[in-house]
Structure 1
Amino acid sequence: MVLVVVMGVSGSGKTTVGSRLAAKLGWKFYDADDYHSPENKKKMAAGMPLNDEDRIPWLCALHDILRREESSRQDAVLACSALKKIYRHILVSGASAIGNTQSEKPGENTALNILFVHLDGPADLIARRLEKRRGHFMPLKLLQSQFDALEPPTAPENFITVSLEKSLPEIVLEIEKAIFSG
């Protein structure tokens, strides 16, 4: 059973890459944007970046989804910005990552084994992608706030970094190789 989180700044291609990977492998796919509260979407649409208070309940809900998939032995891919190390820790460990274990049930505090796939690329490439995107609540003017918040994964986190300057098939193949090589 494998859990993959495709992460990166807005416009990096998380949904495109994650959904393509999941479809190719026959796995479940989740887009974290679908789980933002209406308040979070409204805030971002108004050009205001989310803060940790806005994100923590959202990340805990995403952890619960991943925990459910792990419990049912279902392989899954989640597209989620996961910009900060603490956000990735919440995805792995749930509320216990922030010292709030009251909402967790006994036996549910074991860490999930997640492979984080960091989609990395130059800001100008990502800005061009965002300029072309229509109907999304995340405006181009918030891109810099995403880069400012980004803490790229480092050891001992379980991750790979994939360049956005590759083609979509090359990106998906690189992730597949990482998943199945160990």
Structure 2
Amino acid sequence: MILVIMGVSGSGKTTVGSFLSEKLGWTLYEGDDYHPKENIEKMGKGIPLTDQDRTPWLLLLHDIIQREMAAGTNAILICSALKKLYRQLLLFGRCALHSSHGVAEGGARVKDGLEGVLFAFLQGSFQLIQERVQARRGHFMSPSLLQSQFDALEPPSSAENALTVDIQKSMSEITAEIERTLSAHL
């Protein structure tokens, strides 16, 4: 099983992912660690990333998912995965770039989800997340980018094998909800 913890910056992805990784003994991949230097510099300057900026990064994260699935191991990936296209890139790699209305090159059907991958969408209000972002220190992303993340956000649909978790809940409630859903999929 691969758990992708997603949401806008400041939603608590790293905190939740680190807690679950330690508790479950699953390997943790922090998606931000795989951004190219240019992306980090842009975000540090308050410049939103484009789809073109994100695509090579997402394809690299897709390779990590594929490697872990091929090895039959459980892992957690932290990635904003803001748009449906981004989630499709994580799941299907370059095939997602060549699909049109769910049909990839050669006529193969691109499904909304992939068995063995669960998205946990950490959802919260702009105000709550803005307070969190302004309070944190040492993160490369400029707090001024939060609105652009909310503008780009396409919450996952029910067809995408995703769980939506309200971040107003306590850490124990959030992680317990994710663990219950994981147990149902294992």
Match of 2:126 among 123, 127, 131: 123
Unaligned runs of 5+ in 1: 101-108
| CA RMSD, Structure 1 to Structure 2 (Å) | 1.5
AA in 2 matched with 1:68: R
Which residue of the partner structure matches residue 167 of structure 1? 170
Q: TM-score, normalised on structure 1?
A: 0.92
AA in 2 matched with 1:63: H
| Percent of aligned pairs with the same amino acid | 53
Distance 2:84 2:26 in 1: 26
In 2, are the aligned partners of 1:92 and 1:112 still within 8 Å (CA)? no
Which residue of the partner structure matches residue 12 of structure 1? 11
The offset of 1:99, in angstroms, is 1.8
1:127-158 Cα shifts (integer Å, max 9, x gaps):
11101111111111110000000000003110
Distance 1:128 1:79 in 2: 21
Distance 2:115 2:180 in 1: 21
1:106-125 Cα shifts (integer Å, max 9, x gaps):
xxx99563100000011111
Matched, 1:148 2:147: no
The offset of 1:176, in angstroms, is 0.1
Structure 1 outlier segments of 4+, above 6 Å: none
- Structure 1 residues 118 and 14, CA gap change in structure 2 (3 angstroms): same
Matched, 1:56 2:59: no
Unaligned runs of 5+ in 2: 100-109
The offset of 1:32, in angstroms, is 0.3
In 2, are the aligned partners of 1:17 and 1:168 still within 8 Å (CA)? yes
